[in-house]
Structure 1
Amino acid sequence: MSAQVLRFFAPCPRGLESVLADELSKLGTDTVQPANGGVHFQGSWKTCYQVNLGSRIASRILWQIAKTPYRNEQDIYNTVLALPWHEWFSPKLTIRVNLAAIKCPLRSLDFVTLKIKDAVCDKFRKTTAKRPSIDTVHPDIRIHGFLDANEFTLYLDTSGDALFKRGYRKAAGNAPLRENLAAGILYLTGWQPGTPLLDPMCGSGTFLLEATQIALNIAPGSQRHFAFEKFKQFDQTLWSTLKKAVLIEQRPVTQQSIYGSDLYGYALSDARINLEAAGLLDAVHLKQANILEISAPAPQGILITNPPYGVRIGETQSLAEFYPKLGDVLKNKFSGWSAYILSADTALSKTIRLKATRRTPLFNGALECRLLKYDMVTGSLKK
């Protein structure tokens, strides 16, 4: 396999672009450039495999196959038709086309999507006398197009299912946090393995799972398959070598200073099922408890949680009573700790009656949130 330089784009939850750029640099990528909603980078096929295997924060890894000016739908059709699709994958595989646009002058994105599908199928017909079928639910190959006011960019998705689908989640609560957002938040807190970590409203356990995988050096993609395995240029030997290398680097499952609790037994049951499916149940301390009644499990550490907010529960009155009590618990029982609370509730920062030392804007899907940091400083810690 030639080590040709390829261009990629890794989308991620908005607000995590800078931590994703750092992560991609550590994973061996070149020419890393954060953009709105993701990071551009360059590398070889080996880089592509390594990043799919090792990125905790990226949503997908998209291989850029075209970037060109356009004026109309025919320009887009011609660009797509000119590409050597038959050299990349077999017409026996199913495809899906996704299209996004910002300030695009063309009238119908649905029509442009159809033109892209037609061009791919027409190229296959010309070169192989066969054409791929469309599957919008479980396609083998995803093609992503992006239009701005002047340029058309086309990508082949090397990941397949989104990268936050690690392959172990068996149970999900009412509003589970996506794994890559949870991992990005852990990076933003500066948490390091060995530092006590507590999620006192752990739900289905996403923070606990991501933290444990980081602590045990488990590659997030080691338990799943990827779309690039279906590409004609797929190098099975290289892929097997990379997977073996990350498995050797994994640490044995031992108990970590990672603690999770939840008021509700069913939520804790979901967390237990997910940890067990990942083979990580023995690494985490779990217990059923009310956040307003717990104590800190260590003199210092990081508390991180995604409490219910109006969108999820709709009980504005009970939340208005809950947040001040939460502030009191953090003040009285967690001195020496740093607390991070992800919230879409703008009233939270007022009603919790604590001064946030940092506010980081993040998006949980389409929902705009803030990651609020509270330093619980005691007199003895003001050295």
Structure 2
Amino acid sequence: MNELILFLPCAAGVEDLLAAEVHAITGRSGDDLRVLRAGVRVMGAWRDVQALNLKSRLAQRVLVQLAHRPYRSEADLYEAASGIAWEMWFQPRQTFKVELTAQGSPLQSLNFATLKIKDAIADRFRARAGGVRPSVETRFPDVRVFAHLTAEDVTLYIDTSGEPLFKRGWRVDKGDAPLKETLAAAMLAASGWWDPETGAVSDQPLYDPCCGSGTIPIEAALLAAGVPAGASRRFGFEALLLHRAELWRAMREEALAQADARP
């Protein structure tokens, strides 16, 4: 497959830190790596998709951009979604969910806009799979589709993360007023204790006077040990047709072996 356009959303103010981390993981820079509002856009291969999901501590998700075009009505959204080869990404027996965000959209109903995108995906499968279409599942879908509307353009993505990346997989009980692990990592980077570009951590002790449920020191301990952010969880890309389990297993085992070798 040709290079993919990836968008990694993040918390506001974290964009530059995330860009440094993405550069460290993918080696991309210049025109291939752009800081945008509340996220980073990077060109990458499928291997980069897997590596970013596994290793990024600052991104909320890893999204693959499939379409970007102007729109004026819900019919334009239907046309845009109909033109995407969804059958290359997942199968009609799988479930999916469409999530939509908007900023300055002229459309009256975002719920109706979401419905038109969902219908376009289902209708394309029905036309190409002998009348079979994927079902919608709002809680635990196999595949998530994201759409973002501005005043003039619609961008359609397929999600490769599944659950948000702040869900590292180790937490059993979130406790009261939990801090997201992605924000904890951003605080460690902003404080200078962790450098997301080099991966280096400070040799100074880390003191958290407002420990709460321990998110910051636990994130710091995993960083110091070199444990990948997603070492204990599964990802959405594992349900997509491009996924090759043996290649993913090798990448994950290599990352874990590097962690084991650190003091």
Same fold (TM over 0.5): yes
Structure 2 match to 1:173: 175
Q: Is the 8 A contact 1:216 1:253 kept in 2?
A: yes
Contact map agreement 2:97 2:145 (CA 8 A) in 1: yes
CA drift of 1:84 comes to 1.1
- How far apart are 1:252 and its partner, in Å? 6.4
TM-score w.r.t. length of structure 1: 0.64
Which residue of 209, 212, 227 maps to 1:218? 227
Q: Is the 8 A contact 1:10 1:38 kept in 2?
A: yes
1:54 aligns with 2:55: yes
2:96 corresponding residue in structure 1: 95
The code of the aligned residue for 1:17 comes to E
Deviation, structure 1 residue 253: 8.8
- Deviation of the 1:245 alpha carbon: 1.0
Q: Does 1:241 align with 2:247?
A: no
Gaps of 5+ in 2: 194-200
Task: After TM superposition, give the deviation of residue 198 of structure 1 in Å.
Answer: 0.9
Equivalent residue for 1:8, pick from 6, 15, 18:
6
Aligned mates of 2:51, 2:59 — CA distance in 1: 12
CA distance in 1, matches of 2:27, 2:66: 18
**Equivalent in the alignment of 1:140:** 142
Q: 1:193 & 1:164 partners in 2: Cα distance?
A: 23
- Residue by residue, what CA displacement relative to the aligned partner does 1:250-284 show, whole Å, maximum 9, x if unpaired? 14697xxxxxxxxxxxxxxxxxxxxxxxxxxxxxx
Larger Rg: 1
1:90 partner SS: coil
- Does the aligned pair in 2 maintain the 1:64–1:153 contact within 8 Å? yes
1:132 & 1:77 partners in 2: Cα distance? 17
Local SS of the residue matching 1:199: coil
Find the counterpart in structure 2 of residue 310 from structure 1.
none
How far apart are 1:183 and its partner, in Å? 0.4
Q: Give the count of matched residue pairs.
A: 252
Q: Name the % identity.
A: 41
Matches of 1:5 and 1:209, distance apart in 2: 35
Structure 1: 4+ residue segments shifted above 3 A: 251-254
2: CA distance, partners of 1:60 / 1:72: 28
How far 1:220 sits from its partner (Å)? 0.7
- Indicate the SS of the match to 1:153: strand
Q: Which has the higher contact order (CA 8 A, sep 6+)?
A: 2
Residues 55-104 of structure 1, C-alpha deviations (whole Å, 9 max, x = no match) = 00000000000001111111110111121111210111111111011111
Matches within 5 A, 1:300-311: none
Q: How large is the Cα RMSD of the aligned pairs?
A: 1.3
| Paired position in structure 2 for 1:208 | 217
Q: Pairwise mapping of residues 308-323 of structure 1 onto structure 2 (< 5 A)?
A: none
Distance in 2, matches of 1:50 and 1:252, equals 19
Aligned residue in 1 for 2:67: 66
Which structure dedicates a bigger proportion of its chain to strand? 1
